[in-house]
Amino acid sequence: MTLQAGGSAPLRLTVTPRGGFQGAVLLSLEGAPQGVGLSPQAVNVAGTAPVQADLTLSAQASTPPGSYNLTLKATSGSLVRTHPLALTVRGGGNISGTVSLGPGIQGQAPPPLEAGVGSMPSLPPEPQAVPGELIVKLKGDPAPRALPSVLRAGGFSLRLERPMGLPGAGVYRVEAGVSPQALAEVASLEALAAQVAALPGVAYAQPNYIRYPLKTPNDEYYRYQWHYDPQHLNLPAAWDLEDGTSQLVVVAVVDSGALIRKRHPDLTPVFLPGYDFISYPQVAMDGDGRDPDPEDEEAASEGDRGSGYHGSHVAGTIAALTNNGLGVAGVSWGAKVVPVRVLGLGGGADADILDALLWAAGVEVPGVPRNANPAQVINMSLGGGGPCSQVPAYQEAINRVNAQPQKPVIVVAAGNEQDDASKYTPPSCTGVITVGATEFRNYRSYFSNYGPRIDVMAPGGDVTQDLNGDGYADGVLSTVWDNQGGRPAYVFYQGTSMAAPHVAGIVALMKAKNPGLGYAEVLNILKGTARPLSDQACTGRPHPRVNVSLRSSDCGAGLVDPVRALQAVGGGPGPGPSPDFQLQLSPASLTLAPGQTGQVQVSVVASGGFSSPVNLTLQGAPPGVTGGFSPNPATATSVLTLSVGQGAAQGSYALTVRGAAGSLTREASLSLNVVAAPPPPPPPATIAGTYVFGLYIDQDGNLDETKSTYIRILRDGRSAPYTLRNLSPGTYLVAAWKDVNGNEEVDEGDYLGVYVDAQGNYLVRPPRSGVDFSLEALVGTTLDRGQLRSWMERVLRK
């Protein structure tokens, strides 16, 4: 008999009993090649009549072709009977299955994602993002359970990973249709975000960018805290007015976590329950995702970008136990700290940071227990490239925090790039206090960012110098952990990360004296009582690493003065808060096409008893773009409606909303991106016209086109069955290609697919069914496209 490898054939066996034989007869094959089997393997004889049994002889696809002399052996006890059986196994046969368009293919010709440049002391030269993830905000603020599970844009599918604390916002991840390399390229994600933002019902979309750390009591090391002395912050005099113990103030430190299990006697007692918001185990360094354990973890090796116990150092500056005869002093003697962990190995993702910021202020975040101790002050010594106008989720989250009943005040580090802080987030956002760094001379630290977005300056140190001659570098001394010795420690760090917690601690002192102070009032007091830096001091020269020339205003209002600030709050004689206001925009960025309109809410945040109407104007609108405010003037909120005419040129425009009331003028930045009108949707993609190839690959891995074949799918739809018939024995690579652009070349924009089984094997031996696979838009592939293209062209030409 003859069998096809991978097939089977019936075999009838007759057993004739003699001499009253009854019982089970066991069957087996002798001399059979590997992969040849017989079933069933037993026949039951009862009675005197012959028994006919229908057997099945089968050969696996891997059975070598050839002719074999087999013996069918029947055994019952000591009785043995045999029968010869000639078997021929033939190779080859058919390969069949279904070929489909992958889920990332929606239109007939999806544009490939463009490759981009991807790439603290200082930040990476370009923004970085979590590969393949976008933060998407929907209009109408749908509830978390109402967020769509899948979004489709530009030929790509994005699946909802999790809802966020921002109403109507979620983290979406590219599901298919894009190469792993493109997933990691920020420019590609930004292009995809722009396409998602243009979808109906979407308020904004942005990559999930990564942010980085922006690094006379009787306490034992207080003498090394030069930044507290009368020539700098003069904290001893401030503590005579308020030491932070009048009433409890909760400060949240959104950073790398806290020393909790690794107990630090000068720090651990000040912590309240916190939370670890890092979603990615490989970043968290603790083996899991989000959990209620915000322990500060350090990288395993020195070369990794770990935390350096950054958050613990920041927390120590704010609230280390003071006047306890141990270690260092915190700015506030009575503040308690809620540690909120967002920074791990390599930094932290925006989606985690924004959820953490909201949670710290008492806002509900899906899937996380509510914060039992909403913060009155929030410190964020972290940041990344790109202005706030490009990441609207930040501004929305900040606005929501500022609106909480306990009036939280957010303090952020300006950044360490010796650059304009307006280029970075969150320093460039409105509704936060942005802090630059000074060194021992009360000059701007050489690394500190500067510019119009700086509000005030505070000590951030300079570890390249020892100007006070105490034998230690002039950094900021605070609490960390000694990994090598396994014990609590203190270390000098430099950075605007160290400057911001000085201000956060001062704000905690102010809130201890007057808990009703809000962001605008605190900012007004800090700026109104600060000591301006001269042009030379703001520049920072002489210093070997300073390479800019600045003016006094580039360092904001100057060095914070906690004594005068507390006096202004009511701790003694001094200037009181004057009437003032700030403008906040939500969103701070709009993307519109010609013929479209968009709206921005403008909030007037009053302080110092300000109650005058504010006249609003729009500055910097390009030709074809108009805007109007309603109401105008405004006393609380107004809505700006922007209209983009058909003749408006594409591009990114920096607009300014200006508010004027008497002698006061305040401004807020608005980013407008004018994009091309959405093209008509492409026709539905179809599998018709796809070539399916059976490429014969010999033992040396070379193509034999004489044994290869192909068919062309004529059926419309997203999938179609195929059969490659009468194939020779051997192994085949099964591939499919659709020439979408019709240029007869396998190139970007075409659809390509190759069958690979669950074990990663590419080769298929006929006969074989169920060889199902899908195509993807060709934007990069792990296959050698040049070789595959050559093989397919050779088969098409034969």
Over residues 269-289, mean pLDDT: 87
Supply the mean pLDDT for the chain: 85
Predicted pLDDT of residue 160? 94
Q: Tell me which of 597 and 213 has the higher pLDDT.
A: 597
Predicted pLDDT of residue 659? 94
Radius of gyration over alpha carbons of the chain, in Å? Answer: 36
- Residue 115: pLDDT band (50, 70, 90) is very low
- 783 pLDDT exceeds 70? no
Predicted pLDDT of residue 109? 39
Predicted pLDDT of residue 90? 76
State pLDDT tens for residues 217-276: 555 666 778 888 877 888 888 888 899 988 999 999 999 898 888 888 889 899 999 999
Predicted pLDDT of residue 652? 82
Quick one: how far is CA 146 from the chain centroid?
Answer: 22
Measured between alpha carbons, how far is 402 from 510 in angstroms, rounded to an integer? 17
For residue 172, the cross-strand partners are 134, 160
E strand spans, 202-333: 202-213, 250-255, 275-276
Quick one: how far is CA 585 from the chain centroid?
Answer: 25
Catalytic site positions: 255, 310, 497
Measured between alpha carbons, how far is 45 from 48 in angstroms, rounded to an integer? 8
State pLDDT tens for residues 596-650: 999 998 988 887 778 899 999 999 999 999 999 999 999 988 999 999 999 999 9
- 784 pLDDT exceeds 50? no
The answer to whether the CB of 142 falls within 8 A of the CB of 195 is no
Provide the whole-model pTM.
0.61
The answer to whether the CB of 401 falls within 8 A of the CB of 408 is yes
SS3 content of the chain, % helix, strand, coil (to 5): 20, 35, 45
Of 98-102, 225-229, 354-358, where does mean pLDDT reach its minimum? 225-229
State pLDDT tens for residues 289-301: 899 989 887 654 3
How many Cβ atoms from other residues are within 10 Å of residue 97's Cβ? 19
State pLDDT tens for residues 675-734: 887 766 667 888 999 999 999 988 888 889 888 999 999 888 899 999 998 788 888 999
- 306 pLDDT exceeds 70? no
107 burial type by CB count under 10 A (0-12 exposed, 13-18 middle, 19+ buried): middle
Over residues 656-665, mean pLDDT: 92
Measured between alpha carbons, how far is 474 from 476 in angstroms, rounded to an integer? 7
* For helices 310-319 and 496-513, angle between their N-to-C axes, nearest 10 degrees: 30
Predicted pLDDT of residue 185? 56
State pLDDT tens for residues 567-607: 999 644 444 557 888 887 877 778 899 999 999 989 888 87
Mind giving me the DSSP string for 332-360? -SS-EEEEEE--BTTBEEHHHHHHHHHHH
Show the domains of the chain with their CATH numbers: 2-91 (2.60.40.10), 95-100+687-797 (no CATH), 129-209 (3.30.70), 214-575 (3.40.50.200), 581-674 (2.60.40.10)
Of 108-117, 201-210, 282-291, 353-362, where does mean pLDDT reach its minimum? 108-117
Here the contacts of 716-719 (C-beta below 8 Å, separation 24 or greater) are: 716/686, 716/687, 716/688, 717/686, 717/687, 717/688, 718/100, 718/101, 718/685, 718/686, 718/687, 719/98, 719/99, 719/100, 719/101, 719/687
- 216 pLDDT exceeds 50? no
Which range of 224-233, 255-264, 556-565, 753-762 scores highest in mean pLDDT? It is 556-565
Measured between alpha carbons, how far is 226 from 470 in angstroms, rounded to an integer? 10
E strand spans, 443-561: 456-459, 476-482, 487-493
Give every strand in the sheet of 664-674, ordered side by side.
589-592, 664-674, 651-661, 615-619
Q: Which helix (H) or strand (E) holds 580?
A: strand 580-586
Measured between alpha carbons, how far is 427 from 384 in angstroms, rounded to an integer? 9
For residue 176, the cross-strand partners are 157
Predicted pLDDT of residue 467? 85
Predicted pLDDT of residue 385? 87
Predicted pLDDT of residue 345? 83
Measured between alpha carbons, how far is 566 from 234 in angstroms, rounded to an integer? 12
As a whole number of Å, the end-to-end CA separation of the chain is 35
Nearest residue to 575 via CA among 527, 538, 630, 612: 527
Give every strand in the sheet of 36-39, ordered side by side.
8-15, 51-59, 36-39
State pLDDT tens for residues 142-178: 999 899 999 988 778 889 999 999 999 999 998 755 5
Torsions phi, psi for 656 (to 5 deg): -130, 130
Cα–Cα distance list, 356 to 163, 496, 597 (Å): 13, 21, 33
- Record the tokens describing residue 365, joined without a space: 């975040």
Predicted pLDDT of residue 16? 92
Measured between alpha carbons, how far is 553 from 565 in angstroms, rounded to an integer? 20
Nearest residue to 294 via CA among 350, 249, 253, 266: 253
Over residues 503-516, mean pLDDT: 96
Predicted pLDDT of residue 66? 83
Over residues 46-62, mean pLDDT: 87
Measured between alpha carbons, how far is 537 from 531 in angstroms, rounded to an integer? 12
Nearest residue to 600 via CA among 635, 634, 641: 641
How many Cβ atoms from other residues are within 10 Å of residue 353's Cβ? 30
Over residues 387-416, mean pLDDT: 94
Measured between alpha carbons, how far is 34 from 609 in angstroms, rounded to an integer? 92
